[in-house]
Structure 1
Amino acid sequence: MDTATHIVMGVALGGIATLDPVVQSDPVLFHAVLVGTVAGSHAPDFDTILKMKSNAVYIRNHRGATHSIPAILMWGILIAGIIHAFVPQVNLFHLWAWTFLAVIIHVLVDIFNAYGTQAYRPFTDRWVAHGFINTFDPYIFLLHIAGIIAWILGADPGYTWLIIYTVILLYYIKRYLDKREIVRKINDYFPDTEKIATSPTIKQNKWRVAITAKDKFYVGTVENGHIQIVDEFKKIPLPKTKIMELAQKDANIAAFLSFSPIYRWEINDFDDFTEVRFIDLRYRSKGHYPFVAVVHIDDNMHIMSSYTGWIYSEQKLQNKLLFT
């Protein structure tokens, strides 16, 4: 989920914590728990600081180690320990338990969008991305805002948030069933389907899909249950050439390939260099594929420049390559 939603989820969990008799009877503990749930709801995304180093480092690591099983355990202990150092009189176990739950919920909700996480590390580096909740879902966010307003106006926080989270749970079930129906229809329409990446949009009745079949990639939308294919590409394995082998050694290309499960590639020859481009097919928007990785290699087999990330115009991409 996005940062704002994670933070309001932390506030919500602090409200639910008032149902805990120990928290309810100790105002100092309640405030400590509220700080812990808000911090715990955001903590796994502290790896966004890696963007300051490079896009390649960020893409390879975001929602990786910080969302892993060891990290989930570590975040709860670390945050609760820091807070407890400032208010040592509060019950450490209850402070840790609610903070730990906030971290778990952060990682749990992240696996349901198209970006996903490596939540099962260290057992596997596989990306888990179920793709049926938008990274920013306005319905979920607005329900949280409504809950916060109700709390400010005097509603009981514990029961208010329990009601809201019951509604959100039903909403998750509904979106899961929506996705399952889309997958069923695609499998019926393309019997040789091998993989389907779904990505919900802000509109409830519209989804983006990227389909890997035996010999082709299909990109399309599903709106009101109707599948519309807007692009199709022949599925061609990566060539075993020196140019491609060198391209895959570049940090930006390697980061892209470690993250993207459905992509196509291009090799374009220019006067002074060769361009190798990888294009993720999952995020098509307004006729454009914004998530790419590009490397320029000169005639002497030296990497001149490279870039990976989300880019929305060819001119901006070329400017990025020019100054890297």
Structure 2
Amino acid sequence: MDTVSHIIIGFGLGALAQMDPVISTNSALSTAVLVGTVVGSNAPDFDFFYRLKGKSSYFRNHRGWSHSLPAIPLWSILTTAAILPFFPGSSMSHLFLWILLAVTLHVLLDLFNVNGAQALRPFSEKWLSLDFLPLIDPYIIMLHILGFSLLPFFETGRVFTFIYLAMVVYLLARLIFTQYTKWKLSQHFQNAFRVKMIPKISPFHWNILIETNQDFLFGSYSMGEFWIEHTFSKKVEYPGLVIDSSQNPEVESFLRSTHFAYPFVQKRKSGYFIYWKDLRFRSKKFFPKLTIMFISLDYKKHASYTGKLTSIKHYKKVVKKLETSI
């Protein structure tokens, strides 16, 4: 999920903690837990320092070790140790447990959306995603806003107990609908060996990516109706160039961040463009998240770009810059 959502959830968990009388009757502990849940709810994303090494480094490492099994207790211990000295007399065990819940919920919510995380490290580097939440979920945000608006009238812990029970029901409903839809599509497209659901804001609407041995099918599913919008053949031109480009450190970093990148090659008078597009993210036929590599006609020079394109104009600007840089 996005940073704003994690912050809001951190405040929500701090309010939920007030249901514990040990916390609600101790103002220092109550404040410490609130600070801890907000920080803990964002701690796994403190790997943002990878951005300093470039976008490719960030793509390669974000939601990796920072969201792994050993990282969850480690973030909780570090956050507790950082906060506890500022609130003497606070219960370390209560503070730690609520921070642990905040960190764990962060990782779970990231697993629920299309990006996923390498949550099973060090046992597996596989990216896990359940695909039933959008990156920004307005319903979860609205539930929290409703809870905050009720605080002047009702007991804090009780209010957020109901808010989080409602959120659990909402998450289960989205999970069930998504899994049912995926099963239904798998039954219809029996030659498909992979069906990817990309959730939209509405719980009953998805973008769909279906992969067969021959091609990719892109479509939408809404309230029981499905339609194909366009397809791409899996035939790759200039396979030698594609293999060579995949060995480039920047391209390799991008490929480590997704199992849904696919190459498209375009030859121009000045050289070759290899587009490694992340097929999960699209707007009609435009795929904004990608790595572009430009190779000169003599294969001796190359330049690359990794990132998210915001528009066709941005795409043309990037392509022109790569073409003129060598």
Normalising by the smaller structure, the TM-score range is over 0.9
Q: Which residue of 1 aligns with 2:60?
A: 60
| Cα distance, 1:312 vs structure 2 | 3.4
Number of matched pairs:
322
3-state SS, counterpart of residue 39 of structure 1: helix
| Cα distance, 1:303 vs structure 2 | 4.2
TM-score (norm 2): 0.93
Q: Which residue of 2 aligns with 1:76?
A: 76
Q: Which residue of 1 aligns with 2:149?
A: 149
Give the whole-Å Cα distance in 2 for the aligned partners of 1:303 and 1:148: 57
| Cα distance, 1:53 vs structure 2 | 3.1
Aligned-partner residue type, residue 204 of structure 1: P
- Which moved further from structure 2: 300-309 or 92-101? 300-309
Change (3 A) 1:305 1:314: farther
Give the whole-Å Cα distance in 2 for the aligned partners of 1:318 and 1:308: 14
3-state SS, counterpart of residue 255 of structure 2: helix
Q: Which residue of 1 aligns with 2:104?
A: 104
Change (3 A) 1:193 1:47: same
| Cα distance, 1:239 vs structure 2 | 6.5
Establish whether residue 221 from structure 1 lines up as the match of residue 220 from structure 2: yes
- Partners of 1:76 and 1:99 within 8 A in 2: yes
Give the whole-Å Cα distance in 1 for the aligned partners of 2:83 and 2:310: 42
What residue ranges of structure 2 are gaps of 5+ in the alignment?
none
- Partners of 2:200 and 2:206 within 8 A in 1: yes
Change (3 A) 1:223 1:279: same
Q: Which residue of 2 aligns with 1:192?
A: 191
Change (3 A) 1:79 1:170: same
Aligned-partner residue type, residue 186 of structure 1: L
3-state SS, counterpart of residue 70 of structure 2: helix
- Partners of 2:262 and 2:276 within 8 A in 1: yes
Question: Matches of residues 1-324 of structure 1 in structure 2 within 5 Å?
Answer: 1-151=1-151, 153-236=152-235, 241=240, 243-321=241-319, 322=321
- Which moved further from structure 2: 30-39 or 175-184? 175-184
Change (3 A) 1:39 1:238: farther
TM-score (norm 1): 0.93
Aligned-partner residue type, residue 213 of structure 1: T
Give the whole-Å Cα distance in 2 for the aligned partners of 1:301 and 1:239: 13
Give the whole-Å Cα distance in 2 for the aligned partners of 1:240 and 1:269: 13
| Cα distance, 1:123 vs structure 2 | 0.9
**For each residue in 1:181-215, what CA deviation from the matched residue of structure 2 results, as whole angstroms up to 9, or x when unmatched?**
21122112210121111111123332101111232
**For each residue in 1:147-206, what CA deviation from the matched residue of structure 2 results, as whole angstroms up to 9, or x when unmatched?**
11212x142111111111111111111111211221122112210121111111123332
Give the whole-Å Cα distance in 2 for the aligned partners of 1:236 and 1:259: 23
Give the whole-Å Cα distance in 1 for the aligned partners of 2:220 and 2:67: 30
| Cα distance, 1:237 vs structure 2 | 6.5
Give the whole-Å Cα distance in 2 for the aligned partners of 1:284 and 1:233: 13
Change (3 A) 1:197 1:209: same
Aligned-partner residue type, residue 20 of structure 1: D
Give the whole-Å Cα distance in 2 for the aligned partners of 1:92 and 1:256: 40
Runs of 4+ in 1 over 6 A off after TM superposition: none
3-state SS, counterpart of residue 213 of structure 2: coil
| Cα distance, 1:238 vs structure 2 | 8.5
3-state SS, counterpart of residue 208 of structure 2: strand
Aligned-partner residue type, residue 257 of structure 2: F
Aligned-pair identity (%): 33
| Cα distance, 1:240 vs structure 2 | 5.1
What residue ranges of structure 1 are gaps of 5+ in the alignment?
none
Give the whole-Å Cα distance in 2 for the aligned partners of 1:196 and 1:46: 32
Give the whole-Å Cα distance in 2 for the aligned partners of 1:189 and 1:99: 44
Give the whole-Å Cα distance in 2 for the aligned partners of 1:268 and 1:237: 11
Give the whole-Å Cα distance in 1 for the aligned partners of 2:216 and 2:112: 23
Give the whole-Å Cα distance in 1 for the aligned partners of 2:301 and 2:7: 42
3-state SS, counterpart of residue 257 of structure 1: helix
